[in-house]
Amino acid sequence: MGDPSGIGPEIIVKALSDKHISRLANITVIGDYFIIEKSKKDLGLKPEFSLLDLSNVPRNNFSYGQHQPSFGRAAVEYIDRAVTILKKGEADALVTAPINKASVRSAGFNDFEGHTEYLAAKTDTKEFAMMFVGKKLKITLVTRHIALRDVPGAVSIGSVCKTIRLTHEHLIKFFHIADPKIAVAGLNPHAGDSGLFGDEEDKVIIPAIEKASSTIKNIYGPVSADAVFYEALKGKFDAIVAMYHDQALAPFKTLYFRSGVNLTLGLPFIRTSPDHGTAFDIAGKGIADPASIKE
């Protein structure tokens, strides 16, 4: 259920109150009974679902929208229990509600980067990537949550090639696209314009495309980032490999702010999440939108 103090419990209760959603699978919520029941009462909803209660949220003076080590620790414990269940083969897929990185780190998880990296470490997954999925747009990231100034150094032949491979593999595996067409975005304006605006395209991205093309067909690029998303929307490409977070998420969230889904590629199970955070500013107010977690 994510951070107890965020909107995770609320959007779960709202989503599972929709019979169309609750009937899709045998759904078990991993969380805290006190918080889930509070959400039901606050919202005036009575969805019925299986709850694995870890009873790990302090009840004294609980309030929404708070950075607390105890809340961060609870959120990690939900993830850990989920991974244990998945490793035993007792579940087929995982949907994670939002967590707060500051709360998790304050609980002693000093190197915590996010769900994606944590789940990869817990499952000993070496190659993984973050893909955002909308109705007409799929984007995989080469780099994730790092400072913009660190992006050029993190964009390597290996990282770009790996992301292309994972994207190709999962377009076939998850979306049943037999012969995927993948566009690789440039890092610089106009994809570098033959070195006029940077040389990462010539030194890194083109060699990575050439390397991946030895085993994968239909890789295009580098394509200027100011055009590639429009072209993908028109059906020219099945997915885009983007170089950094906001290059991908600015156009994606403009189009799919309510319905976008975050999908982790490379794990031994399907893991999805809504494409938003804990929204502490509106937590507990009953106005959180469950559209993304429904998707």
Q: Please report, in tens digits, the pLDDT of each residue of the chain (295 residues total).
A: 999 999 999 999 999 999 999 999 999 999 999 999 999 999 999 999 999 999 999 988 899 999 999 999 999 999 999 999 999 999 999 999 999 999 999 999 998 988 999 999 999 999 999 999 999 999 999 999 999 999 999 999 999 999 999 999 999 999 999 999 999 999 999 998 888 899 999 999 999 999 999 999 999 999 999 999 999 999 999 999 999 999 999 999 999 999 999 999 999 999 999 989 999 999 999 999 999 999 9
Query: Which letter does DSSP use for residue 201 in this model?
Result: I
Q: How many beta carbons lie within 10 A of that of residue 87, not counting itself?
A: 13
pTM attached to this predicted model: 0.92
CB atoms within 10 A of CB 259: 16
Interatomic CA distance for residues 271 and 199, integer angstroms: 36
Q: Which residues contact 64 (CB under 8 A, 6 or more apart)?
A: 5, 6, 280, 283, 284, 285
Query: What CA–CA distances, in Å, run from 279 to 144, 185, 255?
Result: 20, 30, 20
Whether the ω angle into residue 222 lies within 30 degrees of 0, i.e. cis, is yes
> Cα separation of 101 and 87, whole Å?
25
The neighbour count for residue 112, using CB atoms within 10 Å, is 19
Residue 96, both tokens: 């994670």
